[in-house]
Amino acid sequence: MHPSMPHPIISEFDIIFAGGGTTACVVAGRLAAWDPSLSILILEGGQHTLDQAAHVQPYRYTSHQAPTSTTMTFNVGNPSSRLNGRAPIVPCAHCIGGGSSVNAMFYTRAPASDFDDWGTEGWESKNLIPLMKKLETYEVQPDRPTHGYSGPIKVSSGGYKLGVSEEFIRVGTTYHKRQHVEDTDDLETCNTYSPWAKYIDGTTGRRSDAAHHYVYNQAHNANLQIWVGKRVKRVIFQDKRAVGVEFTSDLVSCPDAGHSSSIVKASKLVVISAGAFGSPAILERSGIGAETILKRCNIEQLVDLPGVGENYRDHNGVFVPYFAADEAITMDPLWLGKESVVRENLAQWKIDGKSLIAQNGSDAKIKWRPDDDELKAMGSAFQLRWKEFFQDRPDKAVAIFALCAGTAGLRLRILPPRNYMVACCFTLYPVSAGSVHIKLDENGQEGIDFDTGYLDDPTDIVPLNFGYKRMREILRRMPSYRGEVPAGHPHFPTGSAAVCRETTGPVDLNAPDLIYTAEDDEAIDRYHRSRMQTTWHSLGTCAMKPRADQGVIDSRLNVYGVTNLKVADMSIAPKNVGTNTYSTALLIGEKAAMIIADDLGIECRSCSELSWKSPRSRL
């Protein structure tokens, strides 16, 4: 696969980023602001997102999940017996800004102890908390000690308060007997119901992404260049020093472009920032990885690094639909494109940034830990995992339970148009791990050998099974509840008390819980093996660990065995993080920028000295 023909060398830059996602935007933007003379190139396979409605209008995030979407890459995993033979599909972003330009904008932060658990020098929470504060402007509450108030990324409550989320919190604090606090993203608070903040600018009502707030706002700097529609094939080395990259036109973004390759040189540094799927693939195509993987792809090995592509992690998600009252306000009319509703909300949003346009559908969550009764109900299978990992770590949640006001648009279009609610459960620290590697198909074309690892460990399904039952009880007691959507629930045996159906209203707050038989439990287990899915939080495949422990990079982000090559994105996380991963991707970017600036002798000026001209206009 290493081409022998010479390629045109079209340019030289100081630093090249192979991938233009969240972390790359943060690092490139910070470095460009600190030293405008530095020539920086971002190569991205996807297209621009600048001021495009599908990216800046928050409610439109669901459109990126459409099967025809070109802003996401749909990675197909190997079939798994643990998933009833399914081949899971795990999307990742394919555009400038990466996940920050297409995600659901949930503002969640991991407990500080997650970073201490990484055991990596310089990455302890005491060193990272100042960066967490530096990157954000927290518009939800003033004077919170772990939040920041002058950073480029805006955090708000969104542009419309959803009544069904208030119902969810009310039932949670009564029936579910948990407390309510305003902020469960202070890096330690857990197991209480709270509002769910969003990466949405509270003034403009726009998505607060890395692309607009770190790089697009520096368009005046000609030394910061972004080339879109460019797929990085491999890193170019002289001896074992990275000196550039080879790239081609991206066939998804540029279907009519040719197949020829070009080389662009890097005089100081190459940073691979193509995410949990793209970064290990670039390393492997460059001859860095396990010998068996490279050999089967006819790639000459440069560095034996068997950790490349291993340690794949994600969170396990389940999204269960319920009927909602006709009078409830949900996102369904917007997500179904009802013209009068879209027009009315857009008109309001253009005036003041408010309305359902500046919403993602979820205003409430709990970072849930089971109490003694719940733990007992979960059975013996989870007890050891609880004792070994969770019991003495009160800041670590087992799962996030949340409510979405609407069916997230595309997933359930087969349903009749009406109001829905979705019970969301995703587990934060599943034991199972997978891997992602390149492979060649029978025609010699590159493909992906992707094992998600989902539910491989028998303890991983237990909190999902219990979460289904607990969330169902919570929703049954909400005033807007009108029954379960049978097609989206377990298929319980005829005559079971758990059979799903539409109904006219909620049960009493003090009504007894449903009783599930052994057969019912089997139906729930089968359901989760058939329905459990990604939460779009892929990480870990270029782990920042010791080389002897299947590590790929050191604490300064340097790839083992070569020089002038770093990795900076979610692939570097050595262990999982109990959060939606956008916050962590931003944090890795801020830390990586400081590391690279230090390596290059660039002074890291404080953010107040930077002119972060965030976009204020609306579309």
CA pair distance 39, 224, nearest whole angstrom: 6
**Residue 485 structure tokens:** 């959507």
SS3 276: helix
Could you say which DSSP state residue 492 is in? P
Give backbone dihedrals phi and psi of 226, rounded to 5 degrees, phi first: -125, 120
Cα-atom radius of gyration of the chain, to the nearest Å? 24
Cβ neighbours of residue 576 closer than 8 Å, sequence gap 6 or more: 114, 313, 315, 428, 429, 430, 539, 540
Sign of CA dihedral 25, 399, 395, 379: negative
Give CA separation, 324 vs 126, 402, 418, 447, 475, in Å: 45, 15, 8, 43, 10
Q: What's the gap between Cα 589 and its chain centre?
A: 15
CA torsion, points 173, 177, 182, 184, in degrees to nearest 10? -140
CB 449 within 8 Å of CB 437: yes
**Residue 191 structure tokens:** 């197991």
Of 48, 55, 528, 537, the active-site residue reads 537
> Is 537 noted as a catalytic residue in this protein?
yes
**Residue 412 structure tokens:** 């359930």
CA pair distance 115, 308, nearest whole angstrom: 21
Sign of CA dihedral 570, 573, 579, 584: negative
Q: 242 - beta bridge partners? A: 237
Residues marked active site are found at 537
